[in-house]
Structure 1
Amino acid sequence: MTLLASARPVRERFVGPAIEAEHLVKRFDDLTAVDDVSFTVPQGSVLGMLGPNGAGKTTTVRMMTTLSRPTSGTARVAGHDVLADPEAVRRSMGLTGQAATVDEFLTGRENIRLMGALYGLSRRAIAARADQLLERFTLTEAGDKVVKDYSGGMRRRLDLAVSLIAAPHVLFLDEPTTGLDPRSRSELWEVLRELVSDGTTLLLTTQYLEEADQLADRIVVIDHGRVIAEGTALELKDQSGKAALVVTVSHADQLEAARALLAAHVAEVHVDIAARQLTAPAEGLTDMTRIARVFDGSEIVLDDLGLKRPTLDDVFLHLTGRRAEPQADDIEEPR
């Protein structure tokens, strides 16, 4: 069953990007948490927002979801301005924060129905949608159990299900898979892909670089409250350095001969004796094919020959000077 069943609320049409941020600034006394952030997210796509801890990702999301008023600048969600029409923004979006916000003394089904009632949906629509969401998130058997007995992964799935009760145009996900085991994380990725295929637009902040690599159409990197890079995962990887050709020799006594052969065709060769590997800069598949032909014509036996591109972790390190750390993000706004 997809999330486009007959019980799904009808979405109002709108023209233009699903999300727009225009020169967003947020200051707390003398501290500037978000400093002139701008980007757009086309309808039906996924924007991944990456940055070190405290970079301003969560503060940006809070401004875009009307939870925090910008010091200056503005944003639009599904065509609605967060300052001029915050109620319309809230009707058009869903939000899943870093921690599950469901009521642990209610059942899963009651949590979903409560949110449906707050959105003003009919009882019939709420009942059908609750069944649909519990099934979609593999919570049918647990639907009538109180949430305090749920595992962490079950709570995260329920939290996302609750945010989808009104089938919003736009879904903001602030580190949605934090605390999930790899299997649960992979299952949630599949659900998110289905949402996007159904037309939902996602803005995703994440501490898992693999998550952005898997899900995001475009990525914005934020550091010290500013956007320092933006592009597809491949574009950002290319910015952090060229791909590398990696040659693994079968026999250690052929390593020197392999190095000499490779050095005759590339500008620089790095040798890892313990791994029996040679590494050289490469432009892409053309270089790999060319070098494969060189070794095919020799007596050197290879275990492997491949192309290694920079990872998003390399991008993160290149842009910010530090590795991503799986910790809580951002400055807590005063209550």
Structure 2
Amino acid sequence: MSASPFPAPAIRAMPLAVTGGALMPLMPLMPLMPLTPLMRAEMPLELVGPRLQAVCGNFAAVPMPRQHTVSGGIEVRRAGGVDFALIGQNLQRVYRDARAIRGDDREHFFLVFQDHGGALMCQGEQRVAVQAGDIVLIDSARPSEFVYDGACSQQVSVHLPRADMLARFGPALQGGVCVRRGDALGFAMRAILARMLESGQSDDAHLVEAFLGVFGSVLVERARQVPALARSAGEGVLRKALDHVALHFQDPAFHAGDLARHLGVSPRLLQRAFESLGVSPSRHILDARLAAAHASLQAAAKRGAPAVAVSVVAYDCGFNDLSFFHREFRKRFGVPPGQLGRVEPDPPLH
């Protein structure tokens, strides 16, 4: 046979990233076209919270000090039976706590595509800094927080019904999963999402199915990277435990023994399930109460609300011993709770 008149293309190995001991193929870090144009509308601050709640559920918006308007926009689009929220803003942070979860009858997994700017995403033990091109999964049934510190940030949030997703993917789903910009599967998900947003047709179910198929591959790859313990029954116990704590930590009578009884497991099995987080069940309950108290005091200070007593916040967050609360709060955050802002002094502790 004669030689081909066309030269053989140069073949370059796809770069690999080491993640949890596994080698993952990455797409070249070429410039990414945003999924959506940057929204620049000026929204009165008092309209942002209600609009955010109407689109995404019970999330609280915390502005920067002396902030009266928010730059960006909040829109909803629909394609193939799936809702997409376009959220642009320059707030201090947005959060969803256990009280908000209990008062919300909508449950979703939010697959959030960071489109412009960045944010710090917090859910459970996960603290992930996301930049444009990154993707993160948020579970609406667990407390979560996005911190922006006043920088312009825009996200496309794909709303996936929680019950449907659990039925489809099972225990592989867990809030806090992050897919970085250079990941090949993330690149594929982004391309399909761009097609859905461009089309906006109600009969785009085939694109939604393709999108979920790639997302399923992300979960499979992630499962291969975690230790064997995380793939065992302990993973299911831990997830259920975290969900139950998020809903009941404000009850001062709630403790680790109650958690084990609710889950139908022994205290030892519950302890082993929490070992992957590096904390005990009791410590996790305490951390949830402290984080809620810190967020409540900080939010009251930043929105200029009337003074609130530290004791009221402590009791609302599940503490029934003020001396213990003050001591653990200072140990965790480095300052006494009264230094966070507008609080009334409590009677001297004895």
TM-score normalised over the length of structure 1: 0.29
Find the structure with the greater CA-based Rg.
1
TM-score normalized by the length of structure 2: 0.28
